[in-house]
Structure 1
Amino acid sequence: MAQAVSSDKIPVGISACLMGQTVRFNGGHKRSRFCTDTLTRYFDFRAVCPEVAIGMSVPREPIRLVSETPEDSVIRAVGTDSPELDVTHQLIDYAHTVSQQSDDLCGFIFMQKSPSCGLFGVKRYLPNGHPEGKAQGLFAAEFSRLNPLLPVEEVGRLNDAALLENFMVRVYAYRDWKNFVREGVTAKGLIDFHSRYKYLVMAHSLVEYKAIGRLLANLSNDADRIADEYIQHLMTALRKPASRKMHTNTLMHLQGYLKNWMSAADKRELENLIHEYRNGIIPLVVPLTLLKHHLNHHDGVHDYARQQVYLNPHPYELGLRNAL
Structure 2
Amino acid sequence: MSTFIAPLKIGISACLLGKPVRFNGGHKESRLCSEILARHFEFVPVCPEVGIGLGTPREAIRLVGDPASPRAVGSVHRERDVSEALTGFGQRTAEQLDDICGYILMQKSPSCGMERVKVYQDNGNPVPGGGRGLFAAALIQARPDLPVEEDGRLNDPVLRENFITRVFAYAEWQRLQHAGLSRRALYAYHARYKYQLMATCRPQYQALGRLLAESSRQPLEEFAPRYFSQLMDALKHTASRGSHSNVLQHLSGYLKRALSADEKQELQHLIGQYRVGIVPLVVPLTLLKHHFRRHPDDYIAGQAYLQPHPEDLSLRNAL
Q: Which residue of 1 aligns with 2:38?
A: 40
Amino acid aligned to 2:2 = Q
Query: Deviation of residue 7 (structure 1)?
Result: 4.0
2:118 is paired with a residue whose SS is: strand
Q: Which residue of 1 aligns with 2:132?
A: 136
Q: CA distance change for structure 1 residues 73 and 317 in 2, over 3 Å: closer, same or farther?
A: closer
Q: Does 1:195 align with 2:191?
A: yes
Kindly indicate whether the alpha-carbon contact (under 8 Å) linking 2:16 and 2:30 is maintained by their aligned counterparts in 1.
Answer: yes
2:29 is paired with a residue whose SS is: coil
Kindly indicate whether the alpha-carbon contact (under 8 Å) linking 1:204 and 1:240 is maintained by their aligned counterparts in 2.
Answer: yes
Superposition pairs for residues 250-289 of structure 1, below 5 Å?
A: 250-289=247-286
Superposition pairs for residues 151-300 of structure 1, below 5 Å?
A: 151-220=147-216, 222-298=219-295
* Distance (whole Å) between structure 2 residues aligned to residue 296 and residue 217 of structure 1: 32
Query: Deviation of residue 77 (structure 1)?
Result: 0.6
Q: Does 1:31 align with 2:29?
A: yes
Q: Which residue of 1 aligns with 2:12?
A: 14
Query: Deviation of residue 276 (structure 1)?
Result: 1.2
Q: Which residue of 2 aligns with 1:3?
A: 2
Query: Deviation of residue 72 (structure 1)?
Result: 6.2
CA distances 1:154-208 after superposition (whole Å, capped 9, x unpaired)? 0111110101000000001100110011111111111111121111111111111
Kindly indicate whether the alpha-carbon contact (under 8 Å) linking 1:18 and 1:111 is maintained by their aligned counterparts in 2.
Answer: yes
Give the aligned CA root-mean-square deviation in angstroms: 1.3
Q: CA distance change for structure 1 residues 130 and 219 in 2, over 3 Å: closer, same or farther?
A: closer
Structure 1: state its 5+ residue gaps: none
Superposition pairs for residues 100-111 of structure 1, below 5 Å?
A: 100-111=95-106
Query: Deviation of residue 320 (structure 1)?
Result: 1.0
From 61, 64, 67, the counterpart of 1:63 = 61
Say how many residue pairs are matched.
Answer: 317
Runs of 4 or more off by more than 6 Å in structure 1? Answer: none
Q: CA distance change for structure 1 residues 308 and 24 in 2, over 3 Å: closer, same or farther?
A: same
1:135 is paired with a residue whose SS is: coil
Structure 2: state its 5+ residue gaps: none
CA distances 1:38-86 after superposition (whole Å, capped 9, x unpaired)? 112221111111101111110000011111xxx6643111111111111
* Distance (whole Å) between structure 2 residues aligned to residue 277 and residue 99 of structure 1: 40
Query: Deviation of residue 224 (structure 1)?
Result: 2.4
Kindly indicate whether the alpha-carbon contact (under 8 Å) linking 1:211 and 1:233 is maintained by their aligned counterparts in 2.
Answer: no
Kindly indicate whether the alpha-carbon contact (under 8 Å) linking 1:10 and 1:44 is maintained by their aligned counterparts in 2.
Answer: yes
* Distance (whole Å) between structure 1 residues aligned to residue 142 and residue 159 of structure 2: 22
* Distance (whole Å) between structure 2 residues aligned to residue 101 and residue 132 of structure 1: 33
Q: Which residue of 1 aligns with 2:308?
A: 313
Q: CA distance change for structure 1 residues 185 and 72 in 2, over 3 Å: closer, same or farther?
A: closer
Out of 130-139 and 289-298, give the one that drifted further: 130-139
Q: Which residue of 2 aligns with 1:97?
A: 92
